[in-house]
Structure 1
Amino acid sequence: MSRLRLTSSFASQFTRPLSVTRLPTPEPGLVDAPAENAEALRSLLASLKPPLSPSAVDDALEYLATSSTTAFAEDAQSRALRDALVNQVAVGLYSRSLDEYLHEATEIEAEADWWSNVERSQLNVLVFLIQTLPERLTRVFRTIVETTRAQHMPLQLSVFSPSSLLRLFPSTAFQPSALTRAFFPHLENEQTLSVVWSRPSSRTPRFLHSIWSALFLPLHLTREECRIKRRQLEHMRDRRAEQLGRLADLRTVASASQTFPSTRLTAILSELPVEPLDDLQHVQHISSMLIPNHIEAHGAELAQLRRPSRLSLMWPKLLLYPPLALLAVRSLYNSRASLTQMALDTKETIQGFIKNSLVDPIKEVLKTVRTGGEDGVIVRREGVMADLDSLERMALSLARDHLNYTTAQLDDLSKQIRVGDLTPVLQLYEEDIKRPVKSALTGTLLRSLFIQVQKAKVDIDQALSGIDKLLKSQELTFAFVGLAPALVIVGLASSYVSRVSRGLFDRGKFGRSKKRVVAWGAMRRIERLLVSPPPRVHGVKSSALSDHATGMLLISVTRLRAYAEANLPANSRLRDGFLEDVGDLEDPAMPREEKLRVVERMWRFWGPELGWSSVAAL
């Protein structure tokens, strides 16, 4: 018997309450079962404990298939053991079916998302057309060869001329030719087309129509191909979700029953009326026919809708990158002298920027903070004091020689000069100016005039000293203003380098943006399903979700769990809390309103941390 897929963690946890079974105890008055049968059955039942091991389920299936039914008909104890074993195997197959349908649905949705991403961008459509060009040209060549052989024509180079191809593969207004259908296989099943295939009308210039056909028509048809495959995959996913919802609802029925309803499981998997069989026959039919046939049919159906192979997607890079790399290396080698000089200039520029615009200004800032700016900026304090002392000596000398001041008067005049009061000198100047010529020759006019010149110089020095104090008070501000452009440049460069390095060498703190987009889409779908109008059962609104909604909810929750297990830090509060909320959404017993509260909590707690608002626009 072929081994089937392993069960997922979700299926194991989902079916755990159904797999908790007590071994039957011997009843008085019953004939003891044969030792070999009883021991084998008890050993198999003991191995089928939650979480159910797939290998244990397969071993039980092999034992039930090889053992004859008469071996269990001798006594009631053997029949009880066999029934318990069949029930546990049915639970294991139920878990396996859940896992299989869930795996298929998530696989289908991943393929649909890939086609959606290609369809969303015109550039992606062009790249996809180039990537699949060899396969398309191969189909076209095969079609030409088959057509020429069917018409008993010799295969010559002239057959591949445009005129010969138009005669061999004519097209109508709304039906493309066989050659076009070979290039775009999705046109085989299209009844109507959104583009006109006829030749250009008299009102449309042939040249413009040819340009439109050569440039835009292939892109349009390629996008249509992506759209058709995406829709087929979504329809396929919806069917899986419908069956997955029915399988999930079966747990409620199984929880209320003493034995697992194998008949209903067979009906869900086969989607056909079920013949009246016993549980053992149903289990054997599910394990040997329904699940393997479904896996094979799924693979055949999905093979036509999968994305191209990795080699098909990579061949343009494999073809273009080596020559481009060779040209780049050759160009760099030929320009090694200029590149060396450029590197040296760049090095000197960076060193000069760091030293002159960053390091030296920082040293000046630190010096200003440490010393407080003791030195003058415009004038020095000693120079101002020297000019003031010179003015004082000149005024005192004039007062002593011509005004005959006493020592006390000279002391008072000295104090007046310190505060800028030169009234005695000015009075003497006023008297001398009345007789300017005589005073200039024999009097004190020139001395008083020179004293006023010295007073003007002192006033200018004091004004400059005030400006100097103002500048010193803002010296730290000026130092930071001079440093700010360099800091801005360094900050922008560091941010750019960090962003580039994170994009090239790091997958992000919580996964790449594409992974977070998947989680964001799953969260949005879960909330949309939970707020959707409830279905009506016999004209009455039901609080339960429909089968399709239940299946889609499980698919979305599984994608959230896969994202958390692969991208969130292990053993962190973030991951543990996220998985706890995912487990609440997986719980079929939790009402819809409670699940909506869980969704709100996840948006509130994990949305900002995982950056869902920033990746929503991708």
Structure 2
Amino acid sequence: MEFTTPGIWSGTNRSARILREINNNNRISLRIRAKFKEVNQLTTLFLTNQLANYSQQQSHSHSHSEPEEKLFKILQKTFQDIYYLLDIEDFKFNKLSTIDLKKLHSYYSQLNEVEFNLDLSVADVNDELTINATTLQLINYYVLLTSTLKLSNSVIYKTLELKNQYVYWSDIKSSNFNKLIYLIQSLPYKLYIFGKNVIEHLEIHPTNDTTHSLTNYDKQGTEEDNDIYFSWIRIKKSISRFYEAISKTFGRSFTINNPSFSLSKISAVRSNTRYYLDWIKFIWKYPINLINNDLNEKLSKISKQIEENTGKIDLLIKTNLNDKESTLEALESISLNNQSQSIDNEFSTKPDIQRLNDILINIIRFDSINYYETEIPSPLSRYWPIILATLVYGPSQSIKLYSNREEIIDWLKFNLIDTVTGFFKNWVIKPINDLLNTLRSDDTLSITTKESLKSDLDSLERMIIEFAQDETSNPPDAQQIHEAIQNGDLTLVMNQYESQIKTPVKSLLKGNLIRSILIQIQKTKVDGGYAINGIDKILKSQQLVFGFVSITPSLFILYQFWSYLSSTKPIFVNGKQVNIICLKSLNNIESLLVLINNQVQHTSSSDEQFTEYDKQISKNYEGQLLIEIINLIVVADLIIPKALKSDWINDLNELNNNDFDITTKLQLVRKIWNMYGHYFR
């Protein structure tokens, strides 16, 4: 479980961005946008033609009664306020997500001051409707469309909040380690609830004052002894009651979280050993069972609320915006249902103005609903162990850190700064400079000097010439000796050496044997020089390769480090990888399309086969599909590249296109898998 929980939070910039995404990318808002365009065109025609002509007639006529004047002024004032609130002149649909419904309600409630007996049926402004009726019709349309949009956005947003909560709690449930963390995080709240239950038990089961009267007590005792005795009795009874309350409260909680414990108690008479073993097992499993029951209860509530919200969204999807009456009934059904009220026939008989006012009030109330029972714990609840440890050990550890600051700085400098600096200087910069020097010039690596071998060879040649002159009666000439030495031939010296070792003592005393040995040592030195010279030539020919080899480890380390920093890592939201959430959402979208297709086939083939149970199960498929699409748009924003974002949103919005049949939408899903599946794997 992640300690950080990015996601949907009320009152944040992220929430405003998500609201804009919802406002611009769903079937309901797209239909409302098209309807707004129609009403805006009617408004433009009305303002440029009829209202202008009516104003000119008003300037030359004074025959209107006072009620008509009041009606006209209120209508125009309300229309003007709503016109500027919605910014119809420079209308931008995405701004509607930030419209203040309270302000809209305050403007629209001005119409409650007068009574209207006007024909409010849908008609073009060129028909023979009065100016007041047309103005009121436009006002009602703007309020109705704005209310529908705000309600749909609110329901969708709250459903996304619930899905966000569901991801968080299901992630905790998926791991025992996460459950342990959650148990520690929720421990203060659970202890508070436990203490509250104990106090309630004490209040529900009071005990009578058992203080004995002095008449029933030994009257021979002193008054001080009697007071001490009665005080002790009261304390003893209070402790007994408190212990009993704790025992019963804990026992009830223990039994609820371990239902099989009741069976163990029944069988305790038969086997006391088995009873105690069961006690140990139940106590061991009690914390996990407690957390599991808590998580199951939260997930059940979230699932139920999501199902209820998807039903509302499904109703809004199927609402005909061209039929004002059906739209009003749908809004009343959803908004009044949020207040746990039933819809009577009297609502349909109310005037449209009063019905819209009630709808606005209920939508404002619905916006303020928060799911406190299932919401993600606050930062204080999640981090209280860290905060407590910081408060307890922070001051003392801070003092220790300050007093040892020089040692800490030296340690960091030696182990971190010097290590990194030495790595770059000795294993990156220096090898690169050496490699560049090799490429720029001929100052190559050498393990011997150029003249060392020549001097050793000349010395050997002189030694052999002198040896031949001293030891042989007919020495060869210098040219023959030179050629023999160049070919490594020491036959002359070896012949003398072979004859000398026959009489080693005599030759040793005369010094001839030692001279032969020293010449051979010089020959060995020359041979070593030849070998070193060969190695030197090999090194010189492969020096560029050695330069690359020496720099390869450091470059490999830098490459791996840069790859780690620049590579795309799994993004986590509420403890879940975003790509996994997207994969599940895409899978749900495809499954819902298959279910909708199956529903359509059953309905078209045989209405009898499509049972009431099937209808009950499948009635929210459209709402679930819309929620999954919007949730996928919001979550995938973290991993879809910006260059593909517009195409991604357009492809998903095509799944909301009513012009496409289910088969086409399934093909679109496959296209989405092929095009964007790489980013989710």
Under a length normalisation based on structure 2, what TM-score does the superposition of the two structures give? Answer: 0.66
Match of 2:310 in 1: 241
Q: Partner letter of residue 15 of structure 1?
A: I
Counterparts of 1:284 and 1:164 in 2: how far apart (Å)? 58
Cα separation, 1, equivalents of 2:304 and 2:324: 36
Partner of 1:417: 485
Q: Can you list the C-alpha shifts for 1:214-272, whole angstroms capped at 9, x where unaligned?
A: 4531331232122112111111111110220121122xx336x6987434554565577
Counterpart-to-counterpart distance in 2, 1:596 and 1:364:
60
Query: Alpha-carbon deviations, 1:108-154, whole Å to 9, x = none?
Result: 33333333333332223322441413421331332232134277789
C-alpha distance in 1 between matches for 2:263 and 2:544: 76
Question: Which position in structure 2 is the counterpart of 1:557?
Answer: 629
Shift of 1:411: 2.9
May I ask how many residue pairs the two structures share in their alignment? Answer: 571
Partner of 2:588: 528
Determine the C-alpha separation between the residues in 2 that align with 1:549 and 1:589.
18
Tell whether 2:410 aligns with 1:344: yes
Match among 448, 459, 465 for residue 533 of structure 2: 465
Contact 2:463 2:519 in 1 (8 A): yes
Alpha-carbon distance in 2 for matches of 1:129, 1:443: 101
Q: How does 1:509-520 map to 2 (within 5 A)?
A: 513-514=573-574, 517=577, 520=580
In the TM superposition, residue 95 of structure 1 has moved relative to its aligned partner by 1.5
Q: Which runs of 5+ in 2 are unaligned?
A: 1-15, 59-63, 121-127, 212-232, 606-614
1:414-493 to structure 2, matched below 5 A, reads: 414-423=482-491, 450-470=518-538
Gaps of 5+ in 1: 171-176, 503-507, 614-618
CA contact (8 A) 1:116 1:230 kept: yes
Q: Residues 364, 98 of structure 1: CA spacing in aligned structure 2 closer, same or farther, 3 A cutoff?
A: closer
Trace 1:500-511 onto structure 2 (pairs within 5 A): none
Q: 1:298 to 1:197 in 2, by over 3 A?
A: farther
Q: Cα distance, 1:194 vs. partner? A: 5.8
- Aligned equivalents of 1:153 and 1:331: distance in 2? 58
Q: Deviations over 1:24-78 (max 9, x none)?
A: 7689xx99997855684675786665636566853673254333123669x7334
Question: Is it true that 1:147 corresponds to 2:214 in the alignment?
Answer: no
Q: 1:68 aligns with which of 100, 103, 115?
A: 115
Mapped pair 1:281 → 2:351: yes
Q: Which residue of 1 aligns with 2:33?
A: 16
How much does 1:17 deviate?
0.9
Structure with larger RCO (C-alpha < 8 A, sep 6+): 2
CA contact (8 A) 1:361 1:483 kept: yes
Asked whether the 8 Å contact 2:112–2:353 carries over to 1, the reply is: no
Quick check: 1:416–1:422 contact (8 Å CA) kept in 2? yes
Residue in 1 aligned with 2:180? 123
Q: Are 1:93 and 2:147 matched, yes or no?
A: yes
Cα deviation for residue 88 of structure 1 reads 3.7
1:109 aligned residue (160, 163, 172)? 163
C-alpha spacing 1:88/1:105, structure 2 compared with 1 (3 Å): same
Contact 1:111 1:306 in 2 (8 A): yes
Tell me the distance in 2 between the aligned counterparts of 1:355 and 1:308.
Answer: 45
**Contact conserved, 1:262 with 1:279, CA < 8 A, in 2?**
no
What CA distance in whole angstroms lies between the structure 2 residues aligned with 1:296 and 1:180?
41
Q: Tell whether 2:301 aligns with 1:254.
A: no
Matched, 1:390 2:459: yes
**Alignment correspondent of 2:299:** 230
- In structure 2, distance between residues paired with 1:68 and 1:445: 142
Q: Find the counterpart in structure 1 of residue 643 from structure 2.
A: 573
How much does 1:322 deviate? 0.6
- 1:548 maps to 620
What is the rounded CA distance, in whole Å, between the counterparts of 2:576 and 2:429 in structure 1? 45
Partner of 2:194: 137
**Aligned pairs (5 A) from 1:160-179:** 177-178=248-249
Quote the offset at 1:418 in angstroms.
Answer: 1.8
Q: CA deviation at 1:97?
A: 2.2
Contact 2:82 2:139 in 1 (8 A): yes
Shifted more, 595-604 versus 485-494: the winner is 485-494
Distance (whole Å) between structure 2 residues aligned to residue 453 and residue 281 of structure 1 = 125
TM-score (norm 1): 0.71
SS in structure 2 of the partner of residue 421 of structure 1: coil
Q: String of CA shifts for 1:339-398, please: whole Å, max 9, x gaps.
A: 744653553455764676663455663564325674543x54433222211122233445
Further displaced range: 385-394 or 260-269 = 260-269
Contact kept in structure 1, 2:160 and 2:631, CA below 8 Å: yes
Q: Is the 8 A contact 2:465 2:481 kept in 1?
A: yes
- Residue aligned with 2:488, SS: coil
Within 2, Cα distance between the matches of 1:207 and 1:446? 100
Q: Is the 8 A contact 1:554 1:586 kept in 2?
A: yes
**Residue 314 of structure 1: how far off its partner (Å):** 5.0
For residues 421 and 65 of structure 1, the distance between their equivalents in structure 2, rounded to whole angstroms, comes to 128
Deviation per CA, 1:573-610: give whole Å up to 9, x if none: 3554444445445545455455555555655666655x
- The answer to whether the 8 A contact 2:570-2:579 is kept is no
Q: Percent identity?
A: 21
SS at 1:132 equivalent: helix
2: distance between equivalents of 1:94 and 1:270?
Answer: 14
The residue type paired with residue 483 of structure 2 is: K
The amino acid of 1:281's aligned partner reads P
2:348, 2:386 → 1: CA distance? 59
**How large is the Cα RMSD of the aligned pairs?**
5.3
CA shift in 2, pair 1:450/1:196, >3 Å: same
The offset of 1:324, in angstroms, is 1.8
Question: Match of 2:166, as an amino acid?
Answer: A
Going from structure 1 to structure 2, the CA distance change for 1:299 and 1:149 (only over 3 Å counts) comes to: farther
- 1:175-324 map, 5 Å: 177-178=248-249, 193=259, 196=262, 199=265, 201=268, 202-204=271-273, 211-250=280-319, 253-254=320-321, 261-267=327-333, 275=345, 281=351, 284-288=354-358, 292-293=361-362, 296=365, 302-307=371-376, 311-313=380-382, 315-324=384-393
Distance 2:153 2:618 in 1: 20
Q: For the structure 1 residues 14 and 311, does the alpha-carbon distance in structure 2 shift closer, same or farther, using more than 3 Å as the test?
A: farther
- The 1:126/1:64 distance shift into structure 2, 3 A limit, reads same
Q: Equivalents in 2 of 1:164, 1:360: separation in Å?
A: 77
What CA distance in whole angstroms lies between the structure 2 residues aligned with 1:117 and 1:485? 41
Question: Relative to 1, partners in 2 of residues 1:219 and 1:435: Cα closer, same or farther, differing over 3 Å?
Answer: closer
Describe the SS at the equivalent of 1:254.
coil
Q: Check the 8 A contact 2:166/2:299 in 1, yes or no.
A: yes
The amino acid that maps onto 1:76 is L
Q: Does the CA-based 8 Å contact 2:154-2:367 persist in structure 1?
A: no
- The 1:444/1:324 distance shift into structure 2, 3 A limit, reads closer
Structure 2 SS opposite 1:125: helix
Q: Name the CA distance, whole Å, in 1 between partners of 2:100 and 2:350.
A: 18
